Amino acid sequence: MNLFSDNCQAVLELVGMLAVSNKGGFMFLFRTVVLILGLALVAATACAGPSLVFEEKTYDFGQVTQGKSIEHAFVFSNRGDQPLSIKRVRSSCGCTAVLASTRELQPGESGEIKATFNSTQFRGPVSKQISVYSNDLQQSVARLTLKGVVKELVKITPAQLNFGAIPPGQQSTLDVKLLNQSSGPLVLDQPTTTAAEISASLETQALAAGEQTSLQVRFQPNPDQVRFSGYVIITVAGEQARELRIPVYAMLK
C-alpha cells in the first residue's frame, strides 16, 4: 500500500464532497471556496512527482531443501505524474537482485526487480533484504524481503560431537545419525578427518530419499593432550555435491 498515493486520493475525494455540499450563506460560501482551493493546492502538491509502488514487498518461498535456488520477480510501477528513476539496487548476503527493466519509467509504466537466492550455505529460517533506491521523494529507499525455511540436505544428529573428559590414551567411540532429507537418492563419500586422533566410517554410503545411516567416530587422544578439537568431513557426491562438516571436541583428564 502506498500511503502517499492513498492520501492524495483522499484529499481529492474530500474536495469533491465539499464542492457538492456547498450550501449556506455568503460567508459559508466564501470559507468553503477558500477551503476547497487550499485542499486542491495540497492535493496538487501531494500528487506531483514520481511514485514507486510495488505489487508486493515480501515474498515467502515456503520450505526448500538446501541447495535449491529461488527466483522471484518483484513488479513495480510509477504511479506518479513525473518520470521515476531507479538509482541502484542492493541485496544482503546470499541473495542477488538486478533491475530487469529500464532505469527510467514514465508515469504508468512498470518494471521488475529479479531476485535470486542460493540456499546452499543456509539452513533454518532465512530472511534476505533488498533495497531499491529511487528519486521518489516520499520513499527514497524501498525495502523488499525474500524469506522462507531452508531444510538441510542431510540432517546430522547430533550436529557436533563432544567426547567430554576422558583419560589420556583411552579410546572412545560415538555414533552419529545421517538422514537424507532430499527428494531423491544421495551418495556419501567415505569420511575424512582433520586430525590423526579421530577416525570415522559410514555404515552405508548410498541413501534413498528419507533413508538414514550411521557414522561411527573414534577418538584416540595423545598422552600429552589437554584438549582437542577437529572435524569429520563427508562429501555428498553427484549433482548436489557439497561438504558436510561435523565438529569434534574433547577435554582430557
Cβ atoms < 10 Å from Cβ of 149: 15
Q: Retrieve residue 232's grid coordinates.
A: 569429520
Write down which residue in 107, 131, 151 finishes a domain.
151
Looking at this protein, which amino acid is placed at residue 73?
A
Last residue of a domain, one of 151, 180, 209: 151
* 115-130 as b/e: b if 16+ CB within 10 A: bebebeebeeebebeb
pLDDT digit string, tens, across residues 64-87: 988 889 999 999 999 999 999 999
107 burial via Cβ count (<10 Å: 0-12, 13-18, 19+):
middle
Specify whether 178 is located in the same domain as 245. Answer: yes
Question: Are residue 180 and residue 133 in the same domain, yes or no?
Answer: no
| Digit-coded pLDDT (tens) for 187-206 | 999 999 999 999 999 999 99
Return d(Cα 202, Cα 189) in angstroms, integer: 9
CA angle 235, 208, 200 (to 5 degrees): 40
Residues 133 and 160 in one domain: no
Report pLDDT for 27: 54
CA 148 to chain centre: 7
Do 105 and 196 reside in the same domain of the chain? Answer: no
Question: How many C-beta atoms lie closer than 10 Å to residue 200's C-beta?
Answer: 22
Instruction: Report the number of distinct structural domains present in the chain.
Output: 3
* Mean pLDDT, the chain, whole residue set: 85
What's residue 35's pLDDT?
58
Domain around 212: 154-252
Instruction: Supply φ then ψ for residue 145, to 5 degrees.
Output: -130, 135
The predicted structure's pLDDT at residue 80: 95
CA–CA dist 101, 113 (Å, integer): 8
Q: Is the pLDDT of residue 2 over 60?
A: no
Closest by CA position to 232, among listed 240, 244, 241: 244
